[in-house]
Structure 1
Amino acid sequence: MKPLAYRLRPTEFNEVVGQDHLVGKNGILPKMLETGKYLSFILYGNPGTGKTTIATIFSEKSKLDTYFFNASTDNKAKLMDICDTTLYHDILLIIDEIHRMKSDVQDYLLPFIESGKVTIIGLTALNPYQNINPAIRSRCHLYQVRDLEDEDLKKVIERGKNELDIRFSISDEALDLIIRFSNHEVRSALNLLEATSLVLKDGDHLTPNIVRMVMGMPNLALDGGEDNFYELLSALQKSIRGSDVHAAIHYLGKLIVLGDLESIARRLMVIVYEDIGLANPNLAPKVFTACEVAKKVGIPEAKIPLANAVIEMALSPKSNTAYLAIDAAINDIQTIDTGVIPPHADNKAIRKNPAIYKYPHDDIGSINEQNYMPQKIKNKKYYNPKDESPYEKALKTRYLEIEKIKKLG
């Protein structure tokens, strides 16, 4: 029998979860299919988010003759054979790992894209703005395939549960555990669900300990019950944020017993920037080093560098000013018209008239009165410094000096 993940692979856009911005009713891809106007595009996002599935559905719905090309393993000769078919009709070319495309292959392909003979769908797990050659990137639309949320995975798991040969219930904690161990990848989540079903009978209840057993991990019964892993991570963060060093060490201990060093390290690196931030910026590289050491030495010794990091984080001064600043900026960008780059910060305008830009290093203190905010939000302030630590207090003093000069502009 085919694996559960294969059997549940979507064949329609409405079966794809978490990507409504691309494949929903008003998504760009259904609109292309409705109008019959096919644009070349690149789908980028983490593994397991649905890039290949979306490309395959688009291919089937487009009715175009479709070819697959792996930029990592296939050569120019294969591409030439594919492009030869355009003598008879236009084609769709799905290029996996497009960021690995060699320059000679790319140079051969570009004229076919320009003429519309070949429409491409590129697939990559890397940032296309940094890892795809500009010549290809400029001829394609870039669409992000977003990371799946817990609710998206829950829908898929429920669908998969109904596809299995037996009927069983599943606890919320077990569901969360499957999602965590799958790293939010649909295929991995369904594979784990199918594996757990092998040890169940009709009418059984799937618990976290059964999931751990299937994963080859020890059974755990913390506090006589089943702690939700994400709740433990949240409790660790709240304890560090609240400067409760004893609680922080307690929750770290629980998480270490559960053995997922990647999740612990990821959360600690978030905490050190979100909750400690500019109050103690030298702590961030120390936490990163402790996490890398922990992953290198593994359990049980990993507890030592992690404990060192958590104790210092809990006792450190705290500041969330950078976190609040970037959140506010992103919210404005997403909800209002923030305007355009002012001429004296725009290279195109400066090349035409260099005099409009005042080079700060030519001024006393390397500061001048020019402001670089778009005109529409010229008075917007995002960063509001605290003065609860020596470092950020010094930043605040510097900030106020700069603001006084900028007001002259």
Structure 2
Amino acid sequence: MHQPLAFRMRPKTIDQIVGQKHLVGDGKIIQRMVQAKMLSSMILYGPPGTGKTSIASAIAGSTNYAFRMLNAATDTKKDLQIVAEEAKMSGTVILLLDEVHRLDKVKQDFLLPHLENGRIILIGATTENPYISINPAIRSRTQLFEVKPLTEHDIEEALQRALKDQEVGLGNEPVLLDDLALLHLTRATNGDLRSALNGLELAVCSTKKNADGQIHLTLAIIEECLQLKSLTHDKNGDAHYDVISALQKSIRGSDVNASLHYLARLVAAGDLMTICRRLLVIAYEDIGLGNPAAAARTVSAVTAAEKLGFPEARIPLSHAVVDLCLSPKSNSSYQALDAALADIREGKVGDIPDHLRDNHYHGADKLSRGVDYHYPHDSPHGWIKQQYLPDRLRQAKYYEPKLTGKYEQALAQRYHVINQENN
């Protein structure tokens, strides 16, 4: 059976791992574990193709422990029992458990005692955020290590190694790889070494030798053969929420170019509903009274986008993002509400003043409901001095105006005048 190049090029030892120097470099945590032969169970989390399986196999190769691979979603408890029996006989087994976030309670309960006694060294692999997706019982018994996307330099190093390796690589093939083709392999795969290696192998195997007996790989050939990984993300994955967060923080920070970049990633992922919802949140949470008209325009843009659908929806969405990004920012209104809510949660409520209570029923006046209430519209200024807050909160101040936009500056001025009159 043919094994893909990415499988064949998996590192045999820690020193052969490409990238991840923060984990396997000299003096770093996994390197120290291997050198001291003091391995502990761990969870490796990060994007696909970044070396989680490679790290696990390299740890096993560097320690000479038995190495087994299972999938938490598809393999059964019986498969785990077989690994456990092997561990009893051999002493220690390193178990790479892919999609560890999908480990159900039955399998988890079986694994836990074996992790406790050290017979099984679990290396869980996942693309999900372990702090959100991994069961606390497993998480508390493992160390969590983030595996980061490989750099272009990392991928180029691995590709050059594969081209020279005569044992398991492509070193026996007369490959001539153009510089632009190599550059495309390192960039277009977005840090996914597996995609880069398998794309290279497809190009080599499917390209005929030229008159000089060489397999000449041009940019056009690599573009054709590379199974290009989407530069976006899984809409259900952890990275999706990172992009949403980055979009809001970029708009909040008034960086138009970064905001449009993250919008483009969400548009490319086709997630119209999330974009529309998030822009509405941003309009009221981050811009707020700094530019209320921008919030109204965002509602209109979202409505238009929902009616248009993609690809045209990107047009009103881009308008909204630029508008929100360059608008004055103010979170004063919802911060004021949160401050009021905090008082309520602490029991600071108090009785409603009698003159504010409902008096639209027979006998209300006998209970002093609504008596001595002054109607603000009767005043030429639009307000009349009277108490509105309960007695115990009479001096409470929740709203602190921001002076970032002309609209709230005007509100702040009126707020100041009213407070002066009422004090």
Same fold (TM over 0.5): yes
Residue 155 of structure 2: aligned partner: 153
- Mapped pair 1:189 → 2:196: yes
**What is the letter of the counterpart of residue 145 of structure 1?**
V
Q: Partner letter of residue 20 of structure 1?
A: K
- Counterpart CA distance in 2 for 1:138 and 1:361 is 37
Q: Distance in 2 between matches of 1:5 and 1:292?
A: 42
1:134 is aligned to 136
Counterpart AA for 2:348: D
Distance 1:366 1:161 in 2: 76
Q: Measure how far apart 1:31 and its partner are.
A: 0.9
Q: Which amino acid aligns with 1:99?
A: H
The one of 363, 384, 404 aligned to 1:387 = 404
Q: RMSD of the TM alignment (CA)?
A: 4.9
2:42 and 2:145 in contact (8 A); partners too = yes
Match of residue 206 from structure 1 = 218
Retained in 1: the 8 A contact 2:185–2:222?
yes
Q: Which residues of structure 1 form unaligned runs of 5+?
A: 218-236, 323-356, 370-384, 402-409
- CA change 1:262–1:32 in 2 (3 A) is same
CA distance in 2, matches of 1:5, 1:215: 14
Shift of 1:55: 0.5
Kindly indicate whether the alpha-carbon contact (under 8 Å) linking 1:153 and 1:184 is maintained by their aligned counterparts in 2. Answer: yes
Query: Could you tell me which of 348, 351, 362 is aligned with 2:348?
Result: 362
- 1:55-94 residue pairs with structure 2 within 5 A? 55-92=56-93, 93-94=95-96
State the alpha-carbon separation in 2 of the partners of residues 142 and 285 from structure 1. Answer: 41
Q: Which protein is bigger by CA-based radius of gyration?
A: 2
Unaligned runs of 5+ in 2: 165-169, 229-249, 289-293, 331-342, 350-392, 417-423
> What SS does the corresponding residue of 2:191 show, helix, strand or coil?
coil
Identity score, percent = 27
**Contact kept? 1:278, 1:321, Cα under 8 Å:** yes
Q: Kindly state the Cα deviation for residue 139 of structure 1 after the two structures are TM-superposed.
A: 0.9
Separation in 2, partners of 1:131, 1:175: 37
Question: Is residue 321–residue 386 contact of structure 1 (8 Å, CA) maintained in 2?
Answer: no
Shift of 1:158: 3.8
2:269, 2:44 → 1: CA distance? 27
**Structure 1 SS opposite 2:122:** strand
> Could you list the per-position Cα deviations for residues 195-227 of structure 1 after superposition, in whole angstroms to 9, with x for gaps in the alignment?
3444485495733x444444699xxxxxxxxxx
CA distance in 1, matches of 2:227, 2:69: 37
Partners of 1:4 and 1:46 in 2: CA distance: 20
TM-score (norm 2): 0.56
Residue 305 of structure 1 pairs with residue 313 of structure 2:
yes
1:339-378 matches, within 5 Å, as: 362=348, 364=393
Tell me the amino acid that sits aligned with residue 54 of structure 1. I
After superposition, the Cα gap between the structure-2 partners of 1:321 and 1:156, relative to the gap in structure 1 and judged at 3 Å, is farther
Report the AA paired with residue 308 of structure 1: P
Give the counterpart of 2:108 among 87, 106, 109.
106
Partners of 1:149 and 1:184 within 8 A in 2: yes
- Alignment CA distance shift 1:112-1:195 (3 Å): closer
Alpha-carbon distance between aligned partners in 1 of 2:307 and 2:57, rounded to the nearest angstrom:
41
Q: Is the 8 A contact 2:203 2:217 kept in 1?
A: no
Q: Secondary structure at the match of 1:78?
A: helix
Structure 1 residues 113 and 306 mapped into 2: Cα distance closer, same or farther (>3 Å)?
same
- The one-character-per-residue Cα deviations of 1:286-314 (angstroms, maximum 9, x if unpaired) are 989999999xx7xxxx4411122223333
Equivalent position SS for 1:119: strand
Cα distance, 1:65–1:285 mapped onto 2, change above 3 Å: farther
Structure 1 residue 39 and structure 2 residue 43: aligned?
A: no
**Structure-2 separation of matches of 1:61 and 1:362:** 63
Paired residue secondary structure (2:176): coil
Change (3 A) 1:62 1:204: closer
Partners of 2:223 and 2:191 lie apart in 1 by 17
1:143 corresponds in structure 2 to 145
Over residues 170-208 of structure 1, what are the superposed CA-to-partner deviations in whole Å (9 max), with x where a residue is unaligned?
Answer: 22xx5554345424211111222333444485495733x
Report 1:238-387 matches (<5 A): 261-262=268-269, 278-279=286-287, 302-318=310-326, 362=348, 364=393, 387=404
CA contact 1:278–1:319 (8 Å) conserved in 2? no
Distance (Å, rounded) in 2 between the aligned partners of 1:89 and 1:319: 66
Whether the aligned pair in 1 keeps the contact of 2:72 and 2:98 (CA below 8 Å) is yes
In 2, Cα distance between equivalents of 1:180 and 1:17: 16
Instruction: Tell me which residue corresponds to 1:233.
Output: none
Q: Cα distance 1:47–1:165, how it changes in 2: closer, same or farther (>3 A)?
A: same
Distance (Å, rounded) in 1 between the aligned partners of 2:328 and 2:270: 22
Once the two structures are superposed, residues 70-98 of structure 1 have per-residue CA deviations (whole angstroms, 9 ceiling, x without a partner) of 22122222322322334434322222222
Give me the whole-angstrom Cα distance separating, in 2, the residues matched to 1:199 and 1:292.
46
Aligned letter for 1:206?
T
2:384 equivalent in structure 1: none
Q: With structure 1 as the length reference, what TM-score do the two structures score?
A: 0.58
Residues 1:102 and 1:215: Cα distance change in structure 2 (over 3 Å): closer
Partner of 1:96: 98
Corresponding residue SS for 1:143: strand
Contact 1:72 1:97 in 2 (8 A): yes
Matched positions, count:
302
Which secondary structure state, in structure 2, belongs to the residue aligned with residue 167 of structure 1?
A: strand
1:104-129 deviation per Cα after TM superposition (whole angstroms, max 9, x unaligned): 22112212222223221111221111
Measure, in 1, the Cα distance between the counterparts of 2:55 and 2:198: 20
Partner AA of 1:362 in structure 2:
K
Matches of 2:299 and 2:193 in 1, distance apart? 33
